[in-house]
Amino acid sequence: MRGKVPTCAAFDKLNIRLHVIKMQVTLLKSKLLRAEVTDRALHYEGSLAIDSALMKQIGLIPYEKILVANIANGERLETYAIEAPKGSHTISLNGAAAHKGQVGDLLVIMSFAQFEEAEARSWKPKVLVLGDGNKTVTRADNVLVAEDVFVDTSF
């Protein structure tokens, strides 16, 4: 025999755990739209430094994985967020990420989370639109973009 056979109690516990696992979907958790790159630091370890006040407003925590899209050149990268000083308006591409953009480029910074399907149906991400060198902030979550876009052609 290669290993121990689980006892009935251990098997039942495992079986119960397997039945509790539910399908999860990955949704947008938070987004900074039109974040302007204020600095690049090629010889830094890596990451994207973000003003800690902005991170707090969208619920982004230090070292959280993020997806970054550069509006100026179409580049996309995955990295992690680190805090820049509060109120500094800093968005800094660090390490290898510094090759993906220039000071002044506009970025979309996104984080994602996993939710059970029932919770996912009512989830609303935290979204901020930045402007004026990251000095102006507008809440943009749940903005109605269009209404009645489907035309009934059955008449």
| Residues that are catalytic | 47, 80
Count of CB atoms situated within 10 Å of the CB of 39: 15
d(CA 81, CA 76): 15
Token pair of 72 as six digits: 């100026």
Instruction: Give the side-chain half-sphere CA count within 13 A for 113.
Output: 17
Count of CB atoms situated within 10 Å of the CB of 77: 17
CA torsion sign, 118 to 140 to 101 to 75?
positive
d(CA 130, CA 106): 9
